Structure 1
Amino acid sequence: MTSGVAWTTGEGWRQLELSTGSPTHGEFRVFDTTLTTSDGAVLLALDALGLRHVLVPVAADFPAAHDRRSGGVHLTTRPLVDDTGQRQYLDLACQKAHLNGVFTHLAEEVLGLLRGHAIQPLRACHQTLQRWRELLDREASNVLSTEALCGLFGELWHLVRIAAKSAQGTSAWQGPYGARHDFTVEGCALEVKTTTRRDEWKFRVHGLTQLEPPRDARLYLSAMRLELNGASGATVPDLIQSVLDTGVDRRDLLGRLSQVGYDLRDDAHYQQIRIDVIDSRVYEVAASFPRLTGTSFSPTGLAAGVSDIHYTIDLAASPSAPLHLEILDSLHAALAGVRDGGAAEPAV
């Protein structure tokens, strides 16, 4: 048995994977989480096939659990024997190695519930499995294009800072669900644009509403110049972990990532792509800002039969001056739903 004090769930399984020797059929190599219930120690485990398990001890007469509705993760009960004798466990088992990343986050949530001792083990496992079922059953998708990955990087760069103000701030990230703007709360919205071109500030705008402020709210635009494979840059998985470290709801964040086509199973690919922010500007989208909206075609409006309008804005040629970057701190606070007493409030 392996054990540790300062560890993450992923690190626990990696320790087991690096251990010498392999369990035979029906055996497990286990890692002691140091978390206990009234019936014993909660364990992480690897089976003979290298698949991951969370083993939660229960009473010897505990009724059998049987949930195999998800092809990727099963919840059952099983007896196991160690040096002290036989014990009964709830076995939350990952059935497919490519789901290890998602399963690791699911397991973190289960262990978090058990640490509070406010929920019974079966309910903790079943409730978490139910919440994650959609992600576990989703088919694999293609990796994101470089353009899409850079766009996601820009949004996550802001989300890290919003979530640092409040873990509930992830609710402002509405872009993954097809909202008009990437981040939206009452009175305030933020649209994020990225480019890898070093010599210009041109950005594509999609539709006539993307640069139209919400009703009774102000709209800000963050323009970011990025450099691929920058020596001091970060990766998208790095930013995701930074958001998770703020204590956000894991299922909620990964659900939003899934909506934009990001699959945790492709983390190894994305970990190779480092991105630097080499320049950044923020604007308020007001009257002088370059844009097209529905009112740009008054009085008759857009010609009948015209749709799917996309266009390019050139901020280098814009009469609108960028705001001081210090405004971002208060903007992030506003999007997180908190007041930031250390910075001037944006006009929201």
Structure 2
Amino acid sequence: MTREITEDSWRDLEDSLPAYGLYNAKKLEGSEKIFLAVNHNGFRNVLLQINSIDSAIFDNHSRGLIVQGKDLVIKRIESTFIVITCSDKEGHKTFNLVATDILNKVISGLKPADAVTQTLEKWRKFWGSSFRKILTEDQIKGLFGELWFLFVWLLPKNHKFVENWVGPSGSRNDFEWKNLATEVKTTSSVRGHIHRINGIEQLDPPQDGKLYCFSLRVRKEKTAQNTLPVLIKRIQNLLASNQHLLDLFDEKIAISGYSPAHEDEYSEYQYRVIDERLYIVDDEFPRLSVSSFQDGVPYGVERIDYDVNLEVCRECLIARNPYEFNSVLDITSGLS
């Protein structure tokens, strides 16, 4: 049975702050050696009792998060603890998740130092992003589309395709291979597959290669089951047997600006998938390029964004589902 640390876990400790150098502390139910504590600055702490200071660890590599060994008097008894301190209130939501993870690792039998080390390695990817505001609705929708393509169309064929997801790093296209790239576009337009293209080069095929456009049409509905947190957990479960790929995926999710600290807010964006299509971007595909202008892009024009309606290019449509995708493309050679 797992235990969870929430905002309610801290309320009685934060009702009034202790004097300088002291802690308000309480033992966690079900554990004799784990305490939650708040110091005179109002900083939240998790205290893990250990046998000696030699068993402690020190870590200050994350802004607003410090791990150190201390001798403290708790409930009139002096003991040695690993103290995990959150000194930034903007990080409270993530700290609850970190503390919960540490707590359950220790309860399951892991040594306190190992529990802290393993948890920090996992959550450090998300720690900085937890202080940002949540993604905008357009960003949420765009990330959902990229993850849908990854989970539904690519990973069932080869889990290593998570390595080819390069959208979070700022690459021109969302997925890239040696001679092939895929741009993912997500829309909730009631008119159909209509998308905003960001820049005149976004739909340029790679040199000596092919470009595909994956178009996902969704509708925001309260009864829909698809959300960013649900999709992310499905992918994490799929990659659970390969720690390298799982870590790589978590790192890319963090770079994208997503943080589990805002999971409740992201869960409010529930999408029903209406239609999904894969197009080949060729001469028949509606797009602009530098060659679209007889004399080149006009001098002084630095950026061109425009909308495309993919309902008019049925001849470019090559797949409506991953099964057609596999039969149309030689995936083993083209996507490796």
TM more than 0.5: yes
Mapped partners of 2:324, 2:237: distance in 1: 19
Q: In the TM superposition, what is the alpha-carbon distance from 1:223 to its structure 2 partner? A: 0.9
2:275 equivalent to 1:283: no
1:325 aligned onto 2:310 = no
Mapping 1:219-298, distance limit 5 Å: 219-246=211-238, 247=240, 252-253=248-249, 255-297=251-293
1:203 lines up with 2:221 in the alignment: no
C-alpha separation in 2, matches of 1:111 and 1:172: 35
- Distance in 2 of aligned mates of 1:77 and 1:320: 66
Within 5 Å, give how 1:77-92 maps onto structure 2: 77-79=69-71, 88-92=80-84
Shift of 1:125: 4.3
1:4-37 deviation digits (Å, cap 9, x = unpaired): 3xx3xxx4325x957998799453333669xxxx
Name the amino acid aligned to 2:65: V
| TM-score, normalisation: structure 2 | 0.72
- Identical columns (%): 24
Distance 1:343 1:19 in 2: 56
SS at match of 2:300: coil
Runs of 5+ unmatched residues, structure 1: 34-40, 332-341
Q: Report SS of the residue matched to 2:84.
A: strand
Residue 321 and residue 256 in structure 1: after superposition, are their counterparts in 2 closer, same or farther (change >3 A)?
same
Q: Is the 1:44–1:52 contact (alpha carbons within 8 Å) kept by the matching residues of 2?
A: no
Q: Distance in 1 between matches of 2:35 and 2:165?
A: 35
Relative to its length, the structure with more helix (as a share) is 2
1:29 corresponds to which residue?
27
- 1:345 maps onto 2:336 in alignment: no
Cα deviations across residues 219-240 of structure 1 (Å, max 9, x unaligned)? 2211111111241232222222
Secondary structure in 2 matching 1:320: helix
**Alpha carbons of 1:188 and 1:229: their partners in 2 closer, same or farther (altered >3 Å)?**
same
Read off the aligned partner of 1:155 and give its amino acid letter.
E
- 1:53 equivalent in structure 2: 46
Distance 1:170 1:95, change over 3 A: farther
Q: Counterpart amino acid of 1:29?
A: K
CA distance in 2, matches of 1:207, 1:326: 28
Q: What count of residue pairs does the alignment treat as equivalent? A: 316
Letter in 1 for 2:82: L
Residues 19 and 166 of structure 1: CA distance in aligned 2, closer, same or farther (over 3 Å) = farther
Q: Which residue of 2 aligns with 1:312?
A: 307
Would you say the 8 A contact 1:13–1:44 is kept in 2? Answer: no
How far apart in 1 are the matches of 2:206 and 2:104? 38
Cα–Cα, structure 1 residues 60 and 141, in superposed 2: closer, same or farther, change >3 Å? closer
Q: Is the 8 A contact 2:169 2:255 kept in 1?
A: yes
Q: Write out per-residue CA displacement over residues 43-101 of structure 1, whole angstroms, 9 at most, x where no aligned residue.
A: 7653357946373x654251765444644211011357899x97644233334454244
Q: How big is each residue's C-alpha offset from its partner over 1:278-317, in whole Å with a ceiling of 9 and x where there is no partner? A: 111111222322222233346x533333320112211111
Residue equivalent to 1:148: 139
How far apart in 2 are the matches of 1:81 and 1:166? 54
CA distance in 2, matches of 1:88, 1:143: 38
Q: 1:125 & 1:153 partners in 2: Cα distance?
A: 31
Deviation, 1:200, is 2.6
In the alignment, does 2:166 pair up with 1:174? Answer: yes
1:112 and 1:159 mapped to 2: Cα distance? 31
Aligned positions of 1:58-97 closer than 5 A: 58-62=50-54, 65-68=57-60, 70-79=62-71, 88-96=80-88
**Which of 193-202 and 132-141 deviates more?**
132-141
